[in-house]
Amino acid sequence: MSVTDWSPQPGGNALADRSIPARDGMAGREFPEAIRGIMAKVAAFVLDQNGSLVTGGATNAYTLMTHSGITELKPGLSVSFQADRDSSDVPTLNVDGLGPRPFLTPAGLPLIAGSIKRGLNYTVVWAEAIDAVPAGWRLKGAAAVLNGNDFQALGHTSVYDRDYTALTSDVQVGFRTLTGSRIVTLPDVDAFPLGQDLVIADESGACSEALTITILPGSGTGDTIAGDGSIVLTSPYQAVRFRRGAANLWIRL
């Protein structure tokens, strides 16, 4: 049991942790044991948060053993640690033997190869799955962006198996998963930055004649795509690149 298993309601802690006697009517001789137990659990929690933990494992499968001994992954659960090696591919993180789980950016995207650096400290927070974004350990704080891990910060927007309306701030829109035909709606071309590319790509490898990605101009904008009404991607890893042209015109490069 760890601090993360304690209840915010006092009455829920009577039997929450067997290592800390907290029963009503317990003998006076048990109080010193309870105090020492509380001190030990708080100290363990502090050590799990101060960055003194160091990862283990091999290659891109990182492991981490906490002082608290986490037994259940709960939303908001966090740990801080130092990486013992660089990653060379997409990494996973296994905390207290609960199994390898995705190691994600703050936005819930998979970390890129080489994103974990030996000797740097990281804080991660457990997050449950949201829509098509998987559950996993998300990096917390600005370090993820500074290390180049956050695709969103670099102008990459990941789309997980859904229709998407592109923004004027998008640079590359990549479909990471695809199980059905999807639609990308472009922003108003006259509001898109001049000289800026906009790439729409299948990054899942699942795009096909049966699973298409259709790119449409924004509704009500009067825009056209190279004079046409739409473009359809029909093959694995296919991509198309656009730039703003004359009024109401997307140029296909």
Residue 147's pLDDT is: 46
The domain segmentation of the chain, as residue ranges, is: 3-48, 53-151, 155-252
Nearest Cα to Cα of residue 127 among 150, 144, 149, 104: 104
- As a whole number, the mean pLDDT across the chain is 83
Report the pLDDT value the prediction gives residue 159, as an integer from 0 to 100.
Answer: 87
28-37, 77-86, 131-140: which range is least confident on average? 28-37
Q: What's the CA gap between 102 and 74, in Å, rounded?
A: 15
For residue 93, pLDDT over 90 is answered with: yes
d(CA 67, CA 51): 12
Q: Which of 110-119, 205-214, 228-237 has the lowest mean pLDDT?
A: 110-119
Proportion of the chain above pLDDT 70, given as a percent: 79
Diameter of the chain by CA atoms? Answer: 86
CATH of 155-252, one of 2.60.120.640, 3.40.190.10, 2.60.40.1180, 1.20.210.10: 2.60.120.640
| pLDDT single digits (tens) 133-171 | 789 999 886 444 444 444 444 567 888 889 999 988 888
pTM of the model: 0.53
Structure confidence at residue 143 (pLDDT): 47
DSSP result, the chain: --GGGS-SSGGGGSSS-TTS---TT--GGGHHHHHHHHHHHHHHHHHHHTT-EE-EEETTEEEE--SS---S--TT-EEEEE-SS--SSS-EEEETTS--EEEE-TTSPBPPTT-S-TT-EEEEEEE--BTTBPPEEEE-STHHHHTT--GGGGTEEEEESS-EE--TT-SEEEEEE-SS-EEEEPPPGGGSPTT--EEEEE-SS---SSS-EEEEPPTTS--EETTBS-EEE-STT-EEEEEE-STTEEEE-
